[in-house]
Amino acid sequence: MTERKEFRDLAEPDAARDAIASLDLVPEPESVPLAEARGRVLAERVDAGIDVPGFDRASMDGYAVRARDTFGADEADPVELDLVGAVHAGATPEVTVESGTCAEVSTGAVMPDGADAVVMVERTDESAGGGDGTDRIAFRTSVAPGDHVMAAGADIAAGARALGPGTRLTPREIGLLSALGVDEVPVRGRPRVGIVSTGDELVRPGDELDPSSGEIYDVNSTTIAAGVAEAGGEPVLYPHAGDDYAEMERLLREAADECDLVLSSGSTSASAVDVIYRVIEERGELLLHGVAVKPGKPMLVGRLDRADGGESAYVGLPGYPVSALTIFRTFVAPAVREAAGLPEPRTATVEGRMAVRERYGEGRLRLMPVGLLDLGDETAADGPAGARERPLVYPVDKGSGATTSLVEADGVVAVDPDTEYLEAGEPVTVQLFSPDVRPPTLLGVGEDDPAVNRLLDRLENPRYLPVGSREGYRRLRDGVPDVAVTAGPTDREVDDVVLGEWRREWGLVVPADNPEGVEGLADLVDRDLRFVNRPTGTGLRRGLDDALEDLAAERSASPGELTERIDGYVLTLRAFESPVRRVLAGDADAGLALRETAERLDCGFVPLGEQPVAVRAAADRADREAVASLADELDDDGIATLIEGIAGYSA
Amino acid sequence: MTERKEFRDLAEPDAARDAIASLDLVPEPESVPLAEARGRVLAERVDAGIDVPGFDRASMDGYAVRARDTFGADEADPVELDLVGAVHAGATPEVTVESGTCAEVSTGAVMPDGADAVVMVERTDESAGGGDGTDRIAFRTSVAPGDHVMAAGADIAAGARALGPGTRLTPREIGLLSALGVDEVPVRGRPRVGIVSTGDELVRPGDELDPSSGEIYDVNSTTIAAGVAEAGGEPVLYPHAGDDYAEMERLLREAADECDLVLSSGSTSASAVDVIYRVIEERGELLLHGVAVKPGKPMLVGRLDRADGGESAYVGLPGYPVSALTIFRTFVAPAVREAAGLPEPRTATVEGRMAVRERYGEGRLRLMPVGLLDLGDETAADGPAGARERPLVYPVDKGSGATTSLVEADGVVAVDPDTEYLEAGEPVTVQLFSPDVRPPTLLGVGEDDPAVNRLLDRLENPRYLPVGSREGYRRLRDGVPDVAVTAGPTDREVDDVVLGEWRREWGLVVPADNPEGVEGLADLVDRDLRFVNRPTGTGLRRGLDDALEDLAAERSASPGELTERIDGYVLTLRAFESPVRRVLAGDADAGLALRETAERLDCGFVPLGEQPVAVRAAADRADREAVASLADELDDDGIATLIEGIAGYSA
Predicted local confidence at residue A290, as pLDDT: 86
Domain positions in chain B:
13-26+191-340, 30-52+155-187, 57-150, 349-439, 442-651
Predicted local confidence at residue A128, as pLDDT: 64
With a cut of 70, which residues of chain A have pLDDT below it? 1-8, 128-134, 266-271, 377-388, 400
| A:416-455 residues touching chain B, CB 8 A cutoff | 427, 429, 433-434, 436-438, 448, 453
B570 to chain A: closest CA residue: A145
CATH class of A13-26+191-340: alpha beta
* Distance, CA of B321 to CA of B493 (rounded, Å): 38
Give percent of chain B above pLDDT 90: 78
Tell me the HSE value of B162 on the side-chain side, using a 13 A CA sphere. Answer: 31
**Minimal CA separation from A157 to chain B, in Å:** 6
Contact check, Cβ <8 Å, B230/A176: no
Contact check, Cβ <8 Å, A45/B403: no
**Average per-residue pLDDT in chain B?**
91
Interface probe, candidates B7, B52, B61, B106, chain A, greatest A C-beta count within 10 A: B106
B236 to chain A: closest CA residue: A35
- Mean pLDDT for the stretch of residues B369-396: 72
Contact check, Cβ <8 Å, A217/B34: no
> Integer distance in angstroms from the first to the last C-alpha of chain A?
59
Q: B170 CB near a chain A CB, below 8 Å? A: yes
Give the pLDDT confidence of B214-225 residue by residue, as tens digits: 999 999 999 999
**Minimal CA separation from A530 to chain B, in Å:** 17
Q: B127 CB near a chain A CB, below 8 Å? A: no
Q: Matching CATH topology for B349-439 and B442-651?
A: no
Give the pLDDT confidence of B387-417 residue by residue, as tens digits: 568 899 999 987 767 889 999 999 999 999 9
Domain A349-439 architecture: Beta Barrel (2.40)
**Minimal CA separation from B197 to chain A, in Å:** 14
Contact check, Cβ <8 Å, A222/B174: yes
Interface probe, candidates B216, B336, B467, B601, chain A, greatest A C-beta count within 10 A: B216
**Residue B88 Cα distances to A248, A271, B320, angstroms:** 18, 10, 67
Predicted local confidence at residue B3, as pLDDT: 39
- Residue type at A360 in one-letter notation: Y
Give the pLDDT confidence of B539-572 residue by residue, as tens digits: 999 999 999 999 999 999 999 999 999 999 988 8
B10 pLDDT more than 80? yes
Question: What backbone phi and psi angles, to 5 degrees, belong to B252?
Answer: -65, -40
| B:199-218 residues touching chain A, CB 8 A cutoff | 199-207, 209, 211-218
B91 pLDDT more than 50? yes
Predicted local confidence at residue B130, as pLDDT: 54
> Integer distance in angstroms from the first to the last C-alpha of chain B?
59
What torsion, rounded to 10 degrees, do the Cα atoms A347, A352, A357, A359 define? 40
Interface probe, candidates A34, A44, A170, A533, chain B, greatest B C-beta count within 10 A: A170
CATH domain A57-150 topology: Molybdopterin biosynthesis moeA protein; domain 3 (2.170.190)
**Minimal CA separation from B524 to chain A, in Å:** 24
Predicted local confidence at residue A379, as pLDDT: 41
Number of Cβ within a 10 Å radius of residue A37: 23
* Burial per residue of A38-76, b for 16 or more beta-carbon CB atoms within 10 angstroms, e otherwise: bbbbbbebbbbebbbbbbbbbbbbbbbbbbebbeebeee
B158 to chain A: closest CA residue: A578
B268 pLDDT more than 70? no
CB contacts of A151 in chain B (<8 Å) are: 574
Sequence-ordered list of residues with C-beta below 8 angstroms from that of A289, at least 6 positions apart, any chain: A5, A7, A11, A277, A300, A301
Q: Output Rg (C-alpha) for chain B, integer angstroms.
A: 36
**Minimal CA separation from A340 to chain B, in Å:** 15
Predicted local confidence at residue B415, as pLDDT: 94
CB contacts of B220 in chain A (<8 Å) are: 175
* Structure ipTM: 0.92
**Minimal CA separation from A88 to chain B, in Å:** 9
B263 pLDDT more than 60? yes
**Average per-residue pLDDT in chain A?**
91
Q: Which of 3.40.50.150, 3.50.50.60, 3.10.129.10, 3.40.190.290 would CATH assign to domain A442-651?
A: 3.40.190.290
* Distance, CA of B117 to CA of B142 (rounded, Å): 10
**Minimal CA separation from A320 to chain B, in Å:** 10
Contact check, Cβ <8 Å, B159/A575: yes
B131 pLDDT more than 60? no
CB contacts of A173 in chain B (<8 Å) are: 406-407
- Mean pLDDT for the stretch of residues B441-460: 95
CB contacts of A35 in chain B (<8 Å) are: 222, 225, 237
Global confidence as pTM: 0.92
Predicted local confidence at residue A547, as pLDDT: 97
Predicted local confidence at residue B360, as pLDDT: 80
* Distance, CA of A322 to CA of A86 (rounded, Å): 69
Per CATH, domain B30-52+155-187 is 3.40.1180.10: no
Predicted local confidence at residue A400, as pLDDT: 61
Q: A27 CB near a chain B CB, below 8 Å? A: no
B613 pLDDT more than 60? yes
